[in-house]
Amino acid sequence: MKRLSTLLSVAACLAGSAHAQETSVALPPVPAGTIAAISDGDFVAQSYANGVLAPREAEYRDVLSILSVVDGKLQRAELPVSNSVTAAPEVLALTADGRTAFVTERLAERTEDARLVKDLRPGNRVFAIDLSDKTAPRQADTQKIADFPEALAIDPSGRRIAVVSNTREASLVQLITYSGGRFGAVETFDLAELGIKGTAGTPRGGVTATNVQWHPSGRFLAININTQNRIAFLAVDEADGRHVLKPWGNIVDVGADPFVGRFTPDGRFYITSDWGRDFSATDLDGRIPDRRSGMTVIRFAETAAAGEARHEKVENAESDIAAEGIAISPDGRLVATVNMRTTAFPPSSSRFTREATVSLLSLDPDTGGLAKIGDYPFEGVLPEGATFDLTGDKLLVTVFQDHEGQKEGIGAGIDVFEVVKGETPSLLRRGRIPMPHGLHHVAIAQ
């Protein structure tokens, strides 16, 4: 396993953009062969409050960043890839071998005349990025999919991508094969035809799918329906050279607004981060809750007893205000959520806070019991995505941008937390790796 040992360096060279950058941040090593991170250059944090896109003169870009070590120095290679922070963090996924990244776009990149969020066109593409040379990532292929893709996931084999999209007419699951650097045909499944329906007088009957995850076996999918506070599971089979999706067991009611979720590494449990937004609100103040978000643990039934699988909700827990991203350690014993709190509010707002937090919880791998250890604050605006490293010794957290006058003054980046092991684990923040503006997810692979 290759180590990004130069994170220990006092002067790590971040190359690959128009200008090489130097930083004096001293950080512990992060075991990984590939670190990929995605940034949205169209938005600033205030775009959520005022609907105005990033200023043109800032010259921000939608970009995929790849970190690697070359000649003992940390290098950052960049490739322009359209993406949007308005989706769940799960718009980026890596194959297990770290040789391919997949990215999708909920909203397309801004056109020359776009000034407001409402001017952005719906996204409808998924991109495959060849990382065989991490210092020179290249776009291998692009596939057109349904409008407004919300999240994607790659199956354990690295040969199938699942994407959920929410058009005005339907919520869809799309399966796409990937082999030899090329996408196959898109197979599209309407969730309503799989029993996931709504009766509300809103688009799609009130059904919105925000997250899709593969079970570690590659035989099942989990779908988060955040507007209905439900999780649906689907079995994935093949017949006559095509995929067949069927409902697998019962749909499980969870906490309010289960935006994202993850299977544990052994596949025994599915854990959701229940953000708790008010979708009837018309402004940021009304939509973002002033109470802590929740989490739900579901025991997943991989086999069907008496002819039907029966999933069971076994635990609820609290995280912190406005929890979005979720990460589970490689041994399945620790869970972390990234909590934006109210960092995205204008500084003039009475609800504005400078500090976001990471919540750390312990998970009992046998019972699914989830117990909160603590909240760990850090300065930064709109943190969303996170991942543990390959050993579970570090937690990487994305920061979209910094506050004006923030003491570190290094802008967007990956905050590195050390996982302090022991009877009661904890987190210790070690510093920030500078990254392009708009960072909203990070992924690690071999």
For residue 10, pLDDT beyond 80? no
User: What pLDDT, on the 0 to 100 scale, is given for residue 403?
Assistant: 84
Name the token pair of 290.
């002033």
CA distances from 415 to 20, 43, 170, 397, 434 (A): 20, 20, 37, 5, 9
For residue 1, pLDDT beyond 50? no
- By C-alpha distance, which of 368, 378, 371 is closest to 428? 378
Name the token pair of 110.
């801004």
- Residue bearing the bigger pLDDT, 69 or 207: 207
- By C-alpha distance, which of 299, 143, 184, 160 is closest to 231? 299
Model confidence over 276-303: pLDDT tens digits? 999 889 888 899 999 999 999 999 999 9
User: What pLDDT, on the 0 to 100 scale, is given for residue 406?
Assistant: 52
For residue 3, pLDDT beyond 70? no
User: What pLDDT, on the 0 to 100 scale, is given for residue 55?
Assistant: 95
Evaluated on CA atoms 298, 161, 120, 45, the torsion sign reads positive
With vertex at residue 330, the alpha carbon angle to CA 386 and CA 29, rounded to the nearest 5 degrees, is 65
d(CA 30, CA 25): 14
Contacts of 24 (CB under 8 A, 6+ apart): 10, 11
Model confidence over 219-270: pLDDT tens digits? 999 999 999 999 999 999 999 989 999 999 999 999 999 999 999 999 999 9
d(CA 101, CA 138): 10
- By C-alpha distance, which of 148, 30, 13 is closest to 394? 30
Model confidence over 428-444: pLDDT tens digits? 999 999 999 999 999 99
Please report which confidence band the pLDDT of residue 18 belongs to, taking 50, 70 and 90 as the band edges. Answer: very low
Cβ pair 333, 323 in contact under 8 A:
no
Mean pLDDT score, 343-351: 89
Cβ pair 232, 62 in contact under 8 A:
no
Mean pLDDT score, 91-116: 96
For residue 446, pLDDT beyond 90? no
d(CA 330, CA 391): 7
The H or E element containing residue 285 is helix 284-287
CATH architecture of structural domain 3-445:
7 Propeller (2.130)
Cβ pair 180, 137 in contact under 8 A:
no
- By C-alpha distance, which of 270, 273, 267, 266 is closest to 251? 270
For residue 12, pLDDT beyond 50? no
d(CA 439, CA 387): 14
Name the token pair of 261.
């979720």
- Residue bearing the bigger pLDDT, 95 or 3: 95
Domain range list for the chain: 3-445
Cβ pair 400, 414 in contact under 8 A:
no
For residue 24, pLDDT beyond 80? no
Model confidence over 25-78: pLDDT tens digits? 445 567 667 899 999 999 999 999 899 999 999 999 999 999 987 777 778 999
Please report which confidence band the pLDDT of residue 180 belongs to, taking 50, 70 and 90 as the band edges. Answer: very high
For residue 111, pLDDT beyond 80? yes
User: What pLDDT, on the 0 to 100 scale, is given for residue 126?
Assistant: 98
Residue 178 one-letter amino acid: Y
User: What pLDDT, on the 0 to 100 scale, is given for residue 29?
Assistant: 66
For residue 9, pLDDT beyond 90? no
d(CA 288, CA 320): 12
User: What pLDDT, on the 0 to 100 scale, is given for residue 98?
Assistant: 94
Compute the CA torsion angle 19, 25, 30, 33 (nearest 10 deg): 10
Evaluated on CA atoms 295, 349, 355, 338, the torsion sign reads positive
CA distances from 356 to 13, 325, 338, 404 (A): 28, 13, 8, 15
With vertex at residue 38, the alpha carbon angle to CA 141 and CA 340, rounded to the nearest 5 degrees, is 145
Name the token pair of 195.
């029993």
Please report which confidence band the pLDDT of residue 167 belongs to, taking 50, 70 and 90 as the band edges. Answer: very high
**Which residues face 38 on adjacent strands?**
64, 441
For residue 191, pLDDT beyond 70? yes
Return phi, psi of residue 65, to 5°: -110, 135
Model confidence over 63-94: pLDDT tens digits? 999 998 777 777 899 999 999 999 999 999 99
Pairing of strands 149-154, 160-166: antiparallel
d(CA 328, CA 251): 23
